[in-house]
Amino acid sequence: MSSTKVKKSHYPNTKRIYKRLNRLEKKFCLLLEEIDDLSDEALEIKFEIEDIKLCLSKTKVHNPLTEEQTSSINPDIEILLTSEVDKYTKKKNLQRHTKSILDYSRSNLDQTEINLRSNLDQTEINLRPNLQIINSEDEINT
């Protein structure tokens, strides 16, 4: 049984290995802390970038490109942008035109309905005396 037991003396480097293992564990813990710090920093940077993008998008709406910026645009891209803006403008104008036509038609329909209603009312008033007369003549003939 004593032959199966391992004595530390048989492994002269054991002490050195444990020391090295402890140092590596400490380094590993330090690296984990550093990773946590870096991930926190990365999140902060990500939020800053999102804020900057939001600010840029707001300012571009109110501050169009300067002449210097527009002169640096590739001509092909400028043509594409111009055509897209033209399409957008035509579409908007068409929507406005269509809306005004529909509004006009709706108002005409409303007026026609009012006119028809008043005409029907007048016709009904004109027919009532005749109906009464017919009723009375029928009564006389029977």
10-45 pLDDT, tens digit per residue, is: 566 788 888 888 999 999 999 999 998 888 888 888
User: Is residue 14 a contact partner of residue 8, using CB atoms and an 8 Å limit?
Assistant: yes
Please state, in angstroms and rounded to a whole number, the distance separating the CA atoms of residues 77 and 83.
10
Of residues 114 and 5, more confidently modeled: 114
Q: Give the number of domains in the chain.
A: 2
The answer to whether residue 79 is domain-embedded is yes
The answer to whether residue 2 is domain-embedded is no
Look up the domain containing 114 and give its range: 74-142
The answer to whether residue 69 is domain-embedded is no
The answer to whether residue 21 is domain-embedded is yes
The answer to whether residue 1 is domain-embedded is no
Of residues 19 and 78, more confidently modeled: 19
Q: Which amino acid is at 110?
A: D
